[in-house]
Chains A and B, each alone.
Chain A
């Protein structure tokens, strides 16, 4: 609806234009129309595709939790990926996992049960709360701190650069097209390579 109004307004504007400038305006209006239609098409496709397969089976809790536990046999593998034949622990633990799931205590309950029985190293990642939270926060905090630092560094550099540029601009005569093209060519040709 909003798009059709936009197109109508564009066509109105087009009709009011002087004859010499009507061609480019008409072209840009056409482009806008095409772009809008394309965007609509993408949105429709996106919505359609995301709805495909709706109602398929829900994710397997067994699989999800099984991938959050380690096999304690010393192989360093995720519980459901331990491939040791005759592994003294994985079969028993998988049985315990099924049993705990059948009690309906939920994911956190099951993980807590395993951590209490086998120790915290049985969890494939630190998820017990408390100091474990630090493990998750610190990498993102460092990245964020880095982003802020980069932002301030860039701002500082730009602030220092501005007075210099203004001073330079005040003394230097403006470049004509030929000079600007020549400068661009020099810059391009003396590039050391990237």
Chain B
């Protein structure tokens, strides 16, 4: 009996591949004819327009394929091998949806669909600059051809189960992925990864066509910032998921898959900073182009690491042999980028030169250097086990101790630059400005260091001296950076207040609205500092483990936990063991927590459901580790994690800041921009 939805899905993917290929071919031909003045049977404009429409049609075809897979999952069509291996009948609806990107084929389909969606939006907005968009659209089609080729030839999501007979039920979803954040974390991360294809396509296109001026950067700035925000949210949701689900009390384990998402984020952050040099001073054009190329290639590398199993990871949920495809694509991308760059490098000459070492420009140089050094360190740490195996025949582990020693100092240097950079003036900073801007932050650094030592942060007494020193430096620097940001902001608000006579709050709002980009950037920096404070809190984590019977007590810090009961429950999806634990603080009952351990029937796997009592100062994190087989009593592990919530609050501030930075300012920009090149080829 034929399977209608899988057949429809497969056919849609094949059609989408043909359309993407047509967009690439027709678009390239039209652009070549336009630039070289050669005559074709059809006019380049008409040919380009057909390419653009084929690109739009490609989006609808990939959307139909994605819908077909969703439909197959929701209707329990276990004739589809992918649906069989990633869902089961009793799986909650939301997780049936998220199961679609839990495996390799589904996640690649998500990649292709998001890429098609970005392309769709871009092609609808093609009149912003027709010729540049045509170039970008053609490049995007080339990326689309790659992903659709994998989906059609190497990892088909609609493959039918061997024998063609559908089993009655599926094997279920990995329990670790059955968590609300898993419904949004991977799409967010992929929106970030995939989104960098758009600035990449614009950058490469602008270089190929030797695009005059910096307008292409203004066009892509929003794309880059939105993409960066998606990636930031994706990474932080992943951190929160690891914290709430894995049950080890931490949120970042320097796992290769985590590293894979951090690398493009670091490169993109460097780009977002240095691109300002190009906008304002016409400098670092070649550098910026390479930053965007590297960001895109790191996104592909991230997908390769996550999906192809190049390095071993505890949460690489899909592994296969598609690695060769990705390696070939990465090499091809690098060759194309190198070729286009060297062919057009004379077009990237800087219009201005650096005037002073103490200036905003030089701070951007250092910022870029440190961000890329951090990016390289993460890449190096991720790939060193592979290199080690090649050189000395044995793998090594690159765990947290390596990154703590190497990456954390670089991170602290970056924190320092976060505070210093925005306070320096463009071109040159006078000694008077330095004194005016930096005295108070420096005083705050000293005061906070002393206050922290009085409060008990004394690295020379701690077991883990390195972590304690880092946290002391991090807290003190954070105090200095926050002081610097607030002083600068309040100074600006004071000027507005004097000019307008409004109250301070209204002046602060007006100041932000007048230069949304600048003060949005300040808010982002503020959010990052708040996150750093949260990260530094990890140096003071405490944990205790106890086998707890009825009425047994566990004391950690000033908290007292009393076991009230433990019991079992079950539903069609899983069986669960849980404990009810009363939490007391200074003798007063605060709450009752119910940590669980679940056993999922379909996948025959266990997972923890952590119970957390959260405040801004600390998290009380309780894990039901299981029952002692001898005594049948629950083993409870408790963590006291200070300042964890600051990380999530920091993320919210970063989101708000990015929102501000994306808002148009109250006053129109005064600088004139080069006029758009109209009447070119569509694609």
Q: Which residue of A has the minimal Cβ distance to B378?
A: A139
Provide the bound-state CA to CA distance between A63 and B465, in Å: 12
Q: A78-B399, A120-B395, A193-B516 are in contact. List 14 more A-B contacts (CB 8 A).
A: A53-B458, A77-B253, A78-B400, A81-B248, A83-B625, A120-B394, A121-B397, A123-B397, A139-B377, A146-B373, A147-B369, A158-B357, A190-B671, A193-B518
Q: Which of B395, B407, B516 is within 8 Å of A121, CB to CB?
A: B395
Q: Is A181 part of the binding interface, using a Cβ–Cβ cutoff of 8 Å?
A: no
Judged by a CB distance under 8 angstroms, whether B637 is at the interface is yes
The contact string, 1 if C-beta is below 8 Å from chain A, for chain B 473-500, is 0000000000000000000000000000
Inter-subunit contact B463/A83 (CB<8 Å): no
A160 to B354, CA, bound (A): 9
Contact A126 B626 (CB under 8 A): no
Q: Would you call A166 an interface residue if the criterion is a C-beta within 8 Å of the partner chain's C-beta atoms?
A: no
Stretch among A1-9, A12-20, A43-51 lining the B interface: A43-51
Chain B residues lying within 8 Å of A158, measured Cβ to Cβ, are 353-355, 357
Contact (Cβ within 8 A) B394 A119:
yes
Assess whether A126 is in contact with B462, with CB atoms less than 8 Å apart. no
Determine whether the beta carbon of A192 is less than 8 Å from that of B463.
no
Residues of B within 8 A of A187 (CB): 426
A86 contact set on B, CB distance < 8 A: 626, 629
Which residue from A83, A140, A154 sits with its C-beta under 8 Å from B357? A154
Question: Would you list which residues of chain A between 12 and 44 have a CB under 8 Å from chain B?
Answer: 42
The reply to whether A131 and B406 form a contact with Cβ atoms under 8 Å apart is no
Asked whether B399 lies within 8 Å of A49 as measured between CB atoms, the reply is no
Please name all residues of chain A whose beta carbon is closer than 8 Å to the beta carbon of B635 when the two chains form the complex. 85
**Are B279 and A68 closer than 8 Å at their CB atoms?**
no
Among B388, B454, B521, the one with the most A-chain Cβ atoms within 10 Å of its Cβ is: B388
Query: Which B residues are CB-close (under 8 A) to A135?
Result: 380-381, 384, 388, 396, 398, 402
Q: Give me 22 A-to-B residue pairs in the complex whose CB atoms sit less than 8 angstroms apart, sorted by A's number.
A: A45-B450, A49-B458, A56-B461, A77-B253, A86-B629, A121-B394, A121-B395, A126-B388, A135-B402, A139-B410, A142-B373, A142-B377, A142-B380, A146-B369, A146-B372, A150-B365, A150-B369, A158-B355, A160-B353, A161-B353, A190-B670, A194-B515
Determine whether the beta carbon of B373 is less than 8 Å from that of A46: no
Any B CB within 8 A of the CB of A138: yes
- Near B by CB (< 8 A), chain A positions 148-194 give 150, 153-154, 157-158, 160-161, 164-165, 187, 189-194
Does A103 lie at the interface of the complex (its beta carbon under 8 Å from any beta carbon of B)? no
**A143 part of interface (Cβ distance < 8 Å):** yes
Minimum CB distance partner of B250 in chain A: A81
Known A161-B354, A193-B517; judge A120-B396 contact (CB<8 A).
yes
Q: Quick one: which of B280, B460, B637 contacts A83, CB cutoff 8 A?
A: B637
List, in ascending order, chain A residues with CB within 8 A of B670's CB. Answer: 189-190
The 9 closest A-B pairs by CB, nearest first: A85-B626, A124-B399, A193-B517, A76-B314, A125-B402, A157-B354, A139-B377, A125-B401, A49-B453
A95 at the interface (CB under 8 A from B): no
Of the candidates B249, B360, B376, which one forms a contact with A142 in the assembled complex, judged by CB atoms under 8 Å apart?
Answer: B376
Query: Interface code B489-532, partner A: CB below 8 Å = 1, 0 otherwise?
Result: 00000000000000000000000000111100100000000000
Report how far A174 CA is from B413 CA in the complex, Å. 41
Q: What CA separation (Å) do A85 and B314 show in the bound complex?
A: 17
Query: Provided the pairs A124-B400, A131-B391, A132-B396 are in contact, do residues A67 and B279 lie with their beta carbons within 8 angstroms?
Result: no
Q: What's the least CB distance linking B177 to chain A, in Å?
A: 17
User: In the bound complex, what is the Cα–Cα distance between A157 and B313 (angstroms)?
Assistant: 45
- Measured between beta carbons, the chain B residues less than 8 angstroms from A110 are none
| B388→A42 contact, CB < 8 A | no
A65 to B: closest C-beta gap in Å:
11
Interface membership of B366, Cβ < 8 A: yes
Q: Does B181 interact with chain A (Cβ within 8 Å)?
A: no
Inter-chain contacts of B464 with A (CB < 8 A): 59, 63-64, 67
Q: When the two chains form their complex, are residues B396 and A123 in contact, meaning their CB atoms are under 8 A apart?
A: yes
Residues of A within 8 A of B462 (CB): 59
- Chain A nearest Cβ from B673, distance in angstroms: 10
Interface size on B, residues (CB 8 A): 73
Chain B residues 336-373 with CB under 8 Å of chain A are 353-355, 357, 360, 362, 365-366, 369-370, 372-373
Assess whether B152 is interfacial by the CB under 8 Å rule: no
Interface check B665, CB cutoff 8 A: yes
- CB within 8 Å of A: which of B374-420? 376-377, 380-381, 384, 388, 391-392, 394-402, 405-407, 410
Q: A102 an interface residue at 8 Å Cβ cutoff?
A: no
Q: When the two chains form the complex, which single residue of B247, B370, B454, B626 contacts A49, counting CB atoms closer than 8 Å?
A: B454
Q: Given A46-B450, A139-B373, A158-B354, are A153 and B365 also a contact pair (CB < 8 Å)?
A: yes
Q: A50-B453, A124-B399, A131-B388 are in contact. Are A77 and B248 (CB under 8 A)?
A: yes
User: A97 CB to closest chain B CB, in angstroms?
Assistant: 15
Identity of the chain A residue whose Cβ is nearest the Cβ of B624 in the assembled complex:
A85
Quick check: is A104 within 8 A (CB to CB) of the other chain? no
| Interface assignment of B121: CB less than 8 Å from any CB of chain A | no
Given the known inter-chain contacts A59-B462, A153-B365, please indicate yes or no for A194 contacting B388, CB distance below 8 A.
Answer: no
The reply to whether A124 and B453 form a contact with Cβ atoms under 8 Å apart is: no
Interfacial chain B residues near A193, Cβ < 8 Å: 515-518, 665, 669
B169 on the A face (CB < 8 A)? no
User: Contact check: which of A42, A119, A190 meets B450 at CB < 8 Å?
Assistant: A42
Asked if A105 is at the interface of the complex by the 8 Å CB criterion, the answer is no
Which of these, A42, A60, A84, contacts B463 with CB under 8 Å? A60
B545 CB, min distance to chain A CBs, angstroms: 8
Q: A139-B373, A154-B354 are in contact. Are A52 and B397 (CB under 8 A)?
A: no
Q: Which residues of A contact B405 (CB under 8 A)?
A: 125, 136
B446 at the interface (CB under 8 A from A): yes
